[in-house]
Amino acid sequence: VPGATARAKAMMLNGHGQGQGGFGYNTAPGPASRGVPATSPAYASVRAPSPSSASHGLRMPATTAVSGGGSIGGDPPVMASASSQRLFSSPLPGPAGGHPLSSLNRGALAAGSGGALGAWDALPTGLGAVPGALNGDDEDVDPDFEEMVSDLRRSFVGWLKKSEMELKQHKSDHRRGAQSFEEEKLSVWQQFMAEKQREVEKIRQDRSRAEEESALQLRQVQADIEDARQRMNEERVRVEQEGAQRRRQVGHEYEKFRQEYGLFEAERQRLVNPQLAAEATVDLNVGGTVFETARSTLTQQSGSYLETLLSGRYQLSRDRYGRVFINRDPEHFRTILNFLRNPQTPPMPRDSSESEALVREAGFYGVHFFPFPLVFACGGHDGYEHLRAMEVLDVGNQCWRPCRAMGTERTYFGAATLRNRLHVFGGQNLDYKALSELEIYDCLRDTWEVGASLRFPRRNCASAEHEGRVYAIGGFDGTKIISSVEAYDSRLKSWMQMEPLPTPRSSAMACSQGGKVWVLGGTTGTRLRTVDVFDPRANRWEALKVEMNDIRSAGQATCCVNHVFALGGTDNDQKIHFSAECIDPDEGAFGMRATMQEARMDFAATVISDSIMVGGGQNGSVLSSTEFYRPELDEWQAGPSMTIPRYGHQYLLCSL
């Protein structure tokens, strides 16, 4: 058809733009590029013709899709151009009533296709029926159409060759990539195994080195333990030798004292006035008042001034009538004499001044209103509440008995005995506020009185009695540890400011020895082992050159048999001590003594005759037990337990 031929030829020459042939094939010149599709699908598929082709022969569909699925090289699908659609939509010449392409010889076409696929059957068949012009009727074939088909064949064969080359290239690249991957894998594996081997070797070396260091450290520890054990044994031997030497020394002193006492007793038994020693009744002139009483009444307390006076061993002063004359207050003597006639009932003074004067007169005569020294346990804390309860030790029956309570609950307070009166001051109570109030207990009257308050409130202060004054030393005022020192004078009934401590201390220990006040240990935030000594006459503090063996805070210090003892307490490691140590002021060095039966801190201590008594405190639980220490024997013995367990309390001794 002339019109169809012209259109096909124009399509082949122009296509969809410059440089492209019909159906989107690339016709640009170049090596191995003629007739190669611009977008080359691996297998093209064209939709079946529309129903309208039944009346006009073969007609291409309006839209012919060339699938890109499975394309080589990633070429996108190609749509048939409008020119090609017009070409195949025109009727072709051929026999009437028959299909114009029904006698197409496919084998002839396959022979000219080259070796790309080897047969025409490899071409896609989805293009529909072949035009009748190729059916072998050479006279009816349009040369332009044949040229177009030849171009299509060449383009397709070129595309197949290119695809085959690309497949071979991809296969070759894949083989090289796989080989490279295997080589890289082998290299990485060898490197990994080498690194692993190095790590194993390093771990083995580190383990060997650690084992050698552990063995070395173990040997060093064993050597240190052995050295410490040896030093401990040497120290124990030294302490035992010192103890044996001290016991021998005490034994010699005791023997010397016994001999002196025997001589004194022999002298005391020597009668100077046999007549007076034999009299059954005695006339006394006391301050101008005559008293007549039985001799047994005046001599019932052995060792008293009255018993010595009537023993007949001393020359006596007499009045003009020959009566024994004593220049003392007759009213107080009358009270004392009435007590000697009825010793089960102690006197009851009317007021504080009379009580003080009576105690002073009884001291002159050597008369005691109680058969044993009185030890009072004051205040403290029982683990549940602050206490104002008091109890007194019944030495004769070895038990504690309750007595009149304080006016105020107190814990961690200062206390001392002055002129046979108990003085308690400072401390803390229910709201944990530092106190400044002073309370004074009159043992004869069994009453508490309010005294002058401290200048500075304080708790955890140290306290001691020295030469008629009570000292409050250091402590905590509620905000800071203080160095303030105050002294209470019973004659002035007020507190005086003294020279402050060189170092602020809280929870320190204090006692009086050798005309000075000793302050030991305590804390400034860090617990101490240092010792400061106060000279009241010079109003000056001096730091002692020697220190305690153990760090001690919240312990107790006492003076017994001219030695200063430091007992119990706690250190910077929160360890509560069993230990006790002592300093001989003449030797100027601390030495360890026998340990207490229980570790204690915040406990109380006092001296009874030649023994030290400790009791209460805490060591994880609140204690009620007591212990007695005999310095000459260097041993501790258990005493009667208090009725109330307590810590932060005080023991006060009163001899009436």
Render pLDDT for 164-214 as a digit per residue (tens, 0 to 9). Answer: 999 999 999 999 999 999 999 999 999 999 999 999 999 999 999 999 999
Helix axes 352-365 and 330-341, enclosed angle (nearest 10) = 70
Q: What's the pLDDT at 628?
A: 96
Q: Is the pLDDT reported for residue 279 higher than 80?
A: no
Instruction: Please indicate whether residue 332 or residue 278 has the higher confidence score (pLDDT).
Output: 332
Q: Where does CATH 2.120.10.80 sit in the chain?
A: 374-654
Assign 462 to helix, strand or coil. strand
Q: Where does CATH 3.30.710.10 sit in the chain?
A: 274-365
- Fold of the domain built from segment(s) 374-654: Neuraminidase (2.120.10)
Q: What's the pLDDT at 278?
A: 65
Q: For 97, what's the count of Cα atoms within 13 Å in the CB-facing half-sphere?
A: 0
Sign of torsion over alpha carbons 306, 307, 310, 312: negative
Write down the CATH number for the domain with range 274-365. 3.30.710.10
Look at residues 557, 552, 565 and name the one whose alpha carbon lies nearest to residue 523.
Answer: 552
How far apart are the C-alpha atoms of 248 and 258, rounded to whole Å? 15
Instruction: Share the mean pLDDT of the chain.
Output: 81
Q: What's the pLDDT at 60?
A: 39
Average pLDDT over residues 94-111: 39
pTM over 0.75: no
**The pair of three-digit structure tokens given for residue 645, joined into one six-digit string:** 């367990």
Most confident of the ranges 64-73, 232-241, 344-353, 568-577: 568-577
Cβ count within 10 A of residue 639? 19
Percent of the chain with pLDDT over 70: 77
Assign 344 to helix, strand or coil. coil
